[in-house]
Amino acid sequence: MNPGQARPRSVAPSRTRWLVVGAAGMLGQDVVEAARAAGHDVVALTRADLDVTDARACREALAGADVVVNGAAYTAVDDAETHEPQAFAVNAVGAANLARAAADVGARLIHPSTDYVFAGDADAPYAEDAPVAPRSAYGRTKAAGEWAVLAASPDHLVLRTAWLYGAGGGNFPKTIVRVARERGGVDVVDDQRGQPTWTRDVADLAVRLVAAEAPGGTYHATSSGDATWFDFARAAVAAAGLDPEAVRPTTSEAFVRPAPRPAYSVLGHDALLRAGVEPIGDWRDRWEAAASSVLPPAPAR
C-alpha cells in the first residue's frame, strides 16, 4: 500500500479513544502507557479479555474506538515451524478480524509486523514497498496479516518492527546478561544483521503517527543504524557492568535454529520521512536510554 495514498473521509479526525488488544504483551504494555501519557482514553484488553481469533468478539470489542492497536500475536518463531496453523490463526485471521471490525466502526488500526516478511538476503536497507518473501512459517503468517490489514482499509497502519526488547517481556538482552552472569561467557552469532529496537520507541512512534494523521500504509518502526546479535550482546553485557569480552562471536552455521534467520534484516525509513514523522534514533543511543529500565538489577552478592 502506498503511504502517500489519501485517507478516506469516513475516518473521524478525533483520535482519543484507544483500544489496545494483546495488552499484556511486551509491546502492548508500552503502547498502553504511551497512549495514556499522550492523554488518550485507553482500554487495555488482554488475551483473557479478547481472543482475536473470534471475529464476533472483535466486532463487539471495537465499538466506540477511534484507534485500535493490535498487540496480539503468535511470536514463537521456532514453534511456528511446527504450528503454522495456530500461528496463522492469530497473526493472519486475528489481524483480519481486527482490521475488518476497525474499518466497520471507522477506527484506525495500528498493526505491528516484522522484518521476517523479507527474505533477509539484501545488502541495502529494505524499502517499505520491497517485495515480501518470507523464509519462515512465522514470516508467512505475518505477511498474510499485513495483507489482510491493508486490504480491509487503506487507512490502517502496518508498523514493521524487529529485534524488540522492552521491560515487560523476555527478550535477547535480558537472556544474554543472565547467561553471561551464570556461565561467565556466551557465544553469539556475528553474521546476522538487524536493528535492535525498544518497545517504548515503537509505542511512541505509533502515538506520533496517529497525531500526525500519517497516511495509511506500511512504515518501518525500527531503530536506525544496524548491528549483529554479537554487537548487541556486547552492548547489553556492558550496560549490565560485565566485561564485554564475555561475549564471543560465533556463526549461524554453528547455531542452527528450527526457523531460518535472516542474514540481513535492515529496514529503511523513507515512508516515515515522507510523512514528516521522525524515525526512531540510532540503536546504540536508544539502548543506552533503555538499558536501566529493561535489564533487571544485578543480583546482590
Ligand X SMILES: NC(=O)c1ccc[n+]([C@@H]2O[C@H](COP(=O)([O-])OP(=O)(O)OC[C@H]3O[C@@H](n4cnc5c(N)ncnc54)[C@H](OP(=O)(O)O)[C@@H]3O)[C@@H](O)[C@H]2O)c1
- What's the closest the beta carbon of residue 114 comes to ligand X, in angstroms? 4
Check binding of 192 to ligand X (CB under 6 A).
Answer: no
Closer to ligand X by Cβ: residue 18 or 74: 74
Q: Residue 212: what are its φ and ψ, rounded to 5°?
A: -80, 0
Q: CA 247, 252, 253, 255: dihedral to nearest 10 degrees?
A: 60
Check binding of 95 to ligand X (CB under 6 A).
Answer: no
Check binding of 206 to ligand X (CB under 6 A).
Answer: no
x/- mask, ligand X, residues 207-226, rule CB under 6 A, reads: --------------------
| Residue reference for cell 553469539 | 188
Footprint (CB under 6 A) of ligand X, residues 113-172:
114, 142, 161-164, 169
Total interface residues for ligand X by CB under 6 A: 26
Q: CA 140, 143, 148, 149: dihedral to nearest 10 degrees?
A: 140
Closer to ligand X by Cβ: residue 142 or 200: 142
Query: What is the spatial distance between Cα 38 and Cα 80, in angstroms, rounded to a whole number?
Result: 35
Helices of type H across the chain: 26-37, 55-62, 77-80, 84-88, 95-105, 137-152, 172-183, 199-211, 229-239, 270-274, 283-294
- What's the closest the beta carbon of residue 9 comes to ligand X, in angstroms? 29
Query: Which listed residue (44, 75, 196, 272) binds ligand X by CB under 6 A?
Result: 75
Closer to ligand X by Cβ: residue 7 or 150: 150
Catalytic residue, from 116, 126, 138, 219: name it: 138
State the cell numbers at 76. 514463537
- What's the closest the beta carbon of residue 288 comes to ligand X, in angstroms? 19
Whether the CA torsion 83, 136, 202, 52 is positive or negative: it is: negative
Closer to ligand X by Cβ: residue 94 or 216: 94
| Nearest residue to ligand X, scored by beta-carbon proximity | 25
Closer to ligand X by Cβ: residue 48 or 254: 48
- What's the closest the beta carbon of residue 87 comes to ligand X, in angstroms? 9
Q: Are the beta carbons of 11 and 155 closer than 8 angstroms?
A: yes
Footprint (CB under 6 A) of ligand X, residues 263-282:
none
Query: What is the spatial distance between Cα 148 and Cα 155, in angstroms, rounded to a whole number?
Result: 13
For 26, the 3-state DSSP assignment is helix
x/- mask, ligand X, residues 41-70, rule CB under 6 A, reads: ------x--xxxx-----------------
Closer to ligand X by Cβ: residue 12 or 76: 76
Give the burial string for 251-285 (b: 16+ CB within 10 Å, else e).
ebeeeeeebbbbbbbbbbbebbeebebebbeebbe
Q: CA 12, 22, 232, 174: dihedral to nearest 10 degrees?
A: 140
- What's the closest the beta carbon of residue 292 comes to ligand X, in angstroms? 20
Angle (CA) 250-255-258 rounded to 5° is: 155
Query: Which listed residue (68, 69, 87, 90) binds ligand X by CB under 6 A?
Result: 90
Q: Residue 209: what are its φ and ψ, rounded to 5°?
A: -65, -40
Is position 264 annotated as part of the catalytic site? no
Stretch that binds ligand X, among 21-29, 97-105, 251-259, 279-287 (CB under 6 A): 21-29
Question: Would you please indicate which residues are annotated as catalytic (active-site) residues?
Answer: 138
Kindly list the residues in this chain that would bind ligand X in the complex (CB under 6 A): 22, 24-28, 47, 50-53, 71-75, 90, 94, 112, 114, 142, 161-164, 169
